Amino acid sequence: MKGSMTWTYVVHLLGLTACALGVPQKQAYRVKETVDPPTGWVQYSPAPADHIIDLRIGLPQDKFELLEQALYEVSDPHHHRYGQHLSKEEVDELVAPHPKSMNAVDEWLASHGIDMNSLSRSSAKDWVMVKVPVNLAEKMLDTTYHVWKHVESGVSLVRTTTYSLPEHVHDHVDLVTPTTYFGPLKGMSTTFHWSDAQPAALSSNAPPIKSASGTAVDASCNSTITISCLQQLYNITGYNSSAINGNKIGITGYLEQYANIQDLQSFYQEQRPDALGSSFNYTSVNGGQNSQNLSEAGAEANLDVQFAFGLTHPTPAYFYSTGGQPPYDPDLKTTTDTNEPYAEWLDYILSHPNPPQTISTSYGDDEQTVPQSYAVRTCAGFAQLGARGVSLLVSSGDGGVGDNDANATTTICKTNDGRNATRFIPTYPATCPYVTSVGGTVSIPEVAVYFSGGGFSNYFPTPLYQLGAVTEYLGHLPLNSYSGLFNRFGRGFPDVSAQGDYFRVWIGGKPAHIGGTSASSPAFAGVVSLLNDARLSKGLPPLGFLNPMLYTKGVKGLTDITEGNNPGCGTEGFNATTGWDPITGLGTPNFGLLKEIVLS
């Protein structure tokens, strides 16, 4: 008995001494997140112990439900708060973590010897960022990191398939990255070919074609889309925007896609001569670059800036180049091996007091490759932008309902949750309910382009603003149609659509044709920016989050697309039909009608 008491005393004394010295105590851990190794990735080797990871820790946003409520109220044209967008400070206050969560996380980090001065925090303090070596991250998260290689692309990443947190920290952390995110972020340009056509070929002597909305469109627009084509097709001709009313438009760039200014001048000379000599404001986010070497001009970036800025000139234009996806190389000890750039870009744009009122992004992942915790968290960041009066448009994807193959005998549309079940593959962030997802059309009159991404989210439920439209569509769909292939209760996408093929751009000093919903999103964004221009010139606030308006009074300003389908996963996909559908959404814009609606 005496010996036992002495031993207990010694253990207790040692524990106190360890605490005094700051030595982390053995804590009870519980798994926070775990995934099956995703298809196409193989474990290559243990991650080097001294490899530096930019660890990001997401704390629960204490009053997000109030932020969401405010978002819908200020975005609903029938609500008395419509247009009364929140300030940066008001949004930060609603998403700031509870002090208990901040204290719990700070104490956990300190217990591992991390100096509080080495931390950085997001504007609302809901993200904590710290650089740590792999061996420390493994202790903190009770896990083992490996170098993983993607068989097809050869890209390597440092990742783990599971991580844990101490019991007392569990409820104070939403997620930690980089951990289980293997998503191959990609641009949405599905077709690309060089064109030797000279400027004279951009117009036709043939009789004009009448669009579905009744506007007359040059016959050449059936084979080559230009700024003039979009102006004619979407009833923009004759509208002049302002350079001084405070309106701005932004384009996001990822994956070392560089927007070339010389190419932009060639594009302007050919298609928007009054813009010749103007350019855009470039911002580097997380080390993003924008090389002006013509050989490094990015097809995606050039497409986005040329058409979005060409449609809206002289509106001040902004291009954000976000770094974050170089291949892992242990010899270089890279500290930015993560391909999770949405959070990086959100950190920057949410810290800015006056972001552009309209922003377009043409990048995305297969939803299932994005951990649900990360998708939910970054989607919440997009909600913050909407509440502050930003209209965020995103491409719906270029795989139809999955792989764009209607005749596949061995489809790649498989779940990566261990079941390997055949299922349609939605695209993130197009499935986020707080963005406006843009699908693609082609030809005049317009029909759905075959590659237009569309379907239903497996992460996010159908939002209230589109419940009626989605319910009506599903009500006309045979009950057993594609049974088990999609989630009938998920957020439907896209919301709207625009032309998505045969866009004539300049890349590397030469003209080319590009197709993809990466063309549709900046095209629709250009129309939205012009609507914001009209409102600001009348002393009205910007539109902000568009969807509650589009699914109500705004639908009368859209041209319904009723033909076409988006094949994939061994099926014909979904059909375009009267009303909303998961390939062209509510339809394409008629600027003249929309302008009347948003100014009324």
Any idea where the domains of the chain sit in the sequence? 26-62+97-182, 187-599
What span, in angstroms and rounded, lies between the C-alpha atoms of 558 and 591? 9
Interval 349-370 mean pLDDT: 93
pLDDT digits 0-9 by tens, 191-207: 665 655 554 456 778 89
What span, in angstroms and rounded, lies between the C-alpha atoms of 362 and 516? 9
Per-residue pLDDT at 51 exceeds 70: yes
289: left (phi over 0), alpha (psi -120 to 50) or beta: beta
pLDDT digits 0-9 by tens, 324-357: 754 445 443 344 444 467 888 999 999 999 999 9
Instruction: Please report the pLDDT score of residue 17 as a whole number.
Output: 38
Per-residue pLDDT at 56 exceeds 60: yes
Residue 126 per-residue DSSP state: -
What span, in angstroms and rounded, lies between the C-alpha atoms of 535 and 357? 11
Instruction: Please report the pLDDT score of residue 40 as a whole number.
Output: 83
Residues involved in catalysis: 300, 304, 518
Please confirm whether the linkage preceding 429 is cis (ω < 30° from 0): yes
pLDDT digits 0-9 by tens, 578-591: 999 999 999 999 99
Question: Residues marked as binding for Ca(2+)?
Answer: 560-561, 579, 581
pLDDT digits 0-9 by tens, 260-318: 999 999 999 999 999 999 999 999 998 888 999 999 989 999 999 999 999 999 999 99
Instruction: Please report the pLDDT score of residue 72 as a whole number.
Output: 98
pLDDT digits 0-9 by tens, 104-155: 999 999 999 999 999 999 999 999 999 999 999 999 999 999 999 888 878 8
Interhelix angle 299-312/261-271, rounded to 10 degrees, is 50
Question: Residues marked as binding?
Answer: 560-561, 579, 581
Interhelix angle 517-537/299-312, rounded to 10 degrees, is 30
What span, in angstroms and rounded, lies between the C-alpha atoms of 207 and 318? 38
> Which CATH homologous superfamily contains domain 187-599?
Peptidase S8/S53 domain (3.40.50.200)
Closest CA to 390 of 364, 362, 430, 355: 355
Instruction: Please report the pLDDT score of residue 205 as a whole number.
Output: 80
Instruction: Please report the pLDDT score of residue 212 as a whole number.
Output: 85
Closest CA to 154 of 5, 25, 328: 328
Residue 328 per-residue DSSP state: P
